[in-house]
Amino acid sequence: SGESGAGKTESTKLLLQHIMNLCKGNSQLEQQILQVNPLLEAFGNAQTVMNDNSSRFGKYIQLRFQKNTVQGAKLSEYLLEKSRVVQQDTGERNFHIFYYMFAGLSSEEKEIYGLLDPSLYRYISGRFGTQDVAQHWKHKYQEVCNALDMVGFQEQEQVDMRAILAGVLSLGNVTFEPDESNGPVKVSEASKGWLKAAAVSHKNCWQKPYGYDAFSHWWWSCCCSLCADARDSIAKMVYGRVFGWIVSKINELLAENVDPEVELREIGILDIFGFENFAVNRFEQLCINLANEQLQHFFNHHIFQLEQAAYKEEGLPWETITFNNNEPILNLLLAKPLGLLSLLDEQSAFPQATDKTFVDKLNSSFKGNLHFQPARGRVLGFSIIHYAGKVQYAASGFLEKNRDTLPANVRGLFISSITPLLILLHIHHEPRPILARVKCGDEVLWLDELLIFPCPWQHSLMVLMERMYSANPHFVRCIKPNSQKEPGVVDNQVVLLQLRYNGLLETIRIRRDGFSWRPSFEEFAER
């Protein structure tokens, strides 16, 4: 654990290498475990203002052993930041894979996938970079291709995947305008080429007679903002499915091939996104910071509560060490039925609810709570006093992101596509339909063809924490040396702040004054 840019992912890679070196077992499997990293980082990492290679998802790696030899491994992924596909703040980039593709594909391949100059795409932010950067990305693209081959992706699967990614970029350039003759909205004349490019990239799934007409009909029946939201929802959903599919394929490759009766031991390594506090903090930052709050509480539970309870149980003379308990913050966020997330789910279930009604509900529910502050003035937001400091959240988009809705007939289009990968990515995900009310100018539209996908992130965090509490944990606390992303520079104040809010000063004290090494009597006698 540690804040964004502290070195968690790099430390994880070093730890994996170290464990593999100690095993001296199945060399091919060990190499495969190490070589999946470029693939995960290309699709799951991005440049942020805090870190040039920031993990935008959490991963839990389970290594399974038999007689000190690795027999298999499994990856679990958590909370991929899908919103990054459609929006990046100033100084940030989209996921690495998009830049790698532009740098690594030949001119002929770009023509096949309908890719033009990267500066033309709305989903690709910032300057494309210098010649040196482009060369680096080209090298990274080759690494990704090698990893895809090594994991066992078929050539056609790789072609389909690149086509889907290119289609996502083209879809982002589709815009809308009023339609005087057929209804309130239509695809703008200027962007019809982009719609066609997106459809061609997805092997005509939106250009077949049924598909294209239904797609167009849906676009033209709603207001511009709703159409833009639906466009972005499709892009996020498709990218998220591609990422999940890659993880599934990796797990197929790394699965152990042993008798089911054989008991395997396990080492799990959790590499999860660090605490974040940006100029603008959104729903994604709240999810990330909640995960970090839970990990901090887990750390406190093991290092302070269980440790000191053991001393008390054995009747040892001991002066209790106090620590910064973040349980009240977790109660604020997770309590039922009046925690922040419960209130968010409640508001998300009301078709007429808005981000403003959600914020009003928070302000009335948490009035006087020491860890909650309403926003000042007319700002639509709120602040949480986290264990690592105060974070101000912009509430715009909270309900929409928590609902994770999608036009119903769009799912049908993907399933009826002639691209095998698109069908595979959508056929096993069963959403539930909802009735939604949307205001379009002075007119209220009722949409009974929206699908809401069960938001899995809260459940996946709960499962993760259950795994943590059932294990025998070792903690690696990563400390960020400075805020400028500079090598070889230690900023004492930046370091001291992290030592304080992580509880490391108290940890040092309990390790120094307490009994940090407790061998069994057999071990002691042996020595």
Task: Report which secondary-structure segment, H or E, holds 311.
Answer: helix 307-313
> Are 372 and 265 found together in one domain?
no
pLDDT tens digit sequence for 263-315 = 899 999 999 888 999 999 999 999 999 999 999 999 999 999 999 999 999 99
Residue 62 lies in a domain: yes
Task: Determine which one of 77, 276, 307, 506 is catalytic.
Answer: 276
- Residues 30 and 20: their CA atoms lie apart, in Å, by 6
Residue 514 lies in a domain: no
The count of domains in the chain is 2
The pLDDT value given to residue 429: 59
> Are 254 and 305 found together in one domain?
no
pLDDT tens digit sequence for 320-344 = 999 999 999 999 999 999 999 999 9
> Are 82 and 201 found together in one domain?
yes
Q: How far is CA 229 from the centre of its chain?
A: 20
Any catalytic annotation for residue 274? yes
> Are 261 and 136 found together in one domain?
yes
Task: Determine which one of 1, 45, 48, 51 is catalytic.
Answer: 51
Structure tokens that stand for 246 in this block: 């890659």
Is residue 444 over pLDDT 50? no
> Are 252 and 316 found together in one domain?
no
**Three-class SS state of 33:** helix
- Taking the CB of residue 219, how many other CB atoms lie within 10 A of it? 22
pLDDT tens digit sequence for 97-128 = 999 999 999 999 999 999 999 999 999 976 67
Is residue 436 over pLDDT 50? no
pLDDT tens digit sequence for 477-494 = 999 999 998 999 999 999
| Beta strands 389-394; 372-374: pairing state | unpaired
Residue 471 lies in a domain: no
Residue 464 lies in a domain: no
Which segments are annotated as binding site for ATP? Answer: 2-9
Any catalytic annotation for residue 412? no
- Enumerate residues 6+ apart whose C-beta is below 8 A from 346: 337, 361
Residue 238 lies in a domain: yes
Any catalytic annotation for residue 55? yes
Mean pLDDT of 45-53: 92
- Residues 116 and 111: their CA atoms lie apart, in Å, by 8
> Are 210 and 96 found together in one domain?
yes
Q: What is the CATH number of the domain that holds 299?
A: 1.20.58.530
> Are 66 and 100 found together in one domain?
yes
- Residues 471 and 476: their CA atoms lie apart, in Å, by 15
Structure tokens that stand for 6 in this block: 């502290």
- Residues 183 and 382: their CA atoms lie apart, in Å, by 38
- Residues 83 and 240: their CA atoms lie apart, in Å, by 10
The pLDDT value given to residue 211: 37
> Are 290 and 341 found together in one domain?
yes
Any catalytic annotation for residue 51? yes
Boundary of a domain, candidates 350, 368, 402: 402
Angle at the Cα of 500 from the Cα atoms of 495 and 501, rounded to 5 degrees: 105
Any catalytic annotation for residue 5? yes
Task: Determine which one of 55, 221, 348, 405 is catalytic.
Answer: 55
- Residues 336 and 433: their CA atoms lie apart, in Å, by 25
Boundary of a domain, candidates 364, 379, 402: 402
Closest CA to 358 of 406, 404, 392, 397: 397
- Most distant CA atoms of the chain, gap in Å: 91
Residue 501 lies in a domain: no
Boundary of a domain, candidates 229, 252, 272: 272
> Are 217 and 122 found together in one domain?
yes
The pLDDT value given to residue 203: 52
Residue 265 lies in a domain: yes
Most confidently predicted of 26-30, 386-390, 410-414, 456-460: 386-390
Any catalytic annotation for residue 4? yes
Residue 367 has, within 13 A of its CA and on its CB side, a CA count of: 5
**Three-class SS state of 94:** coil
Is residue 45 over pLDDT 60? yes
The pLDDT value given to residue 438: 43
Task: Determine which one of 58, 104, 114, 274 is catalytic.
Answer: 274
Closest CA to 245 of 165, 350, 313: 165
Residue 69 lies in a domain: yes
> Are 182 and 142 found together in one domain?
yes
Which segments are annotated as binding site? Answer: 2-9
Q: Which residue range(s) make up the domain with 184?
A: 8-272
> Are 160 and 234 found together in one domain?
yes
- Residues 121 and 128: their CA atoms lie apart, in Å, by 11
Is residue 451 over pLDDT 70? no
The pLDDT value given to residue 414: 72
The DSSP secondary-structure symbol of 141 reads H
> Are 207 and 294 found together in one domain?
no
- With bands split at pLDDT 50, 70 and 90, how would you rate the model's confidence at 8? very high
Q: Where are the alpha helices (DSSP H) in 24-130?
A: 27-35, 37-44, 96-104, 107-113
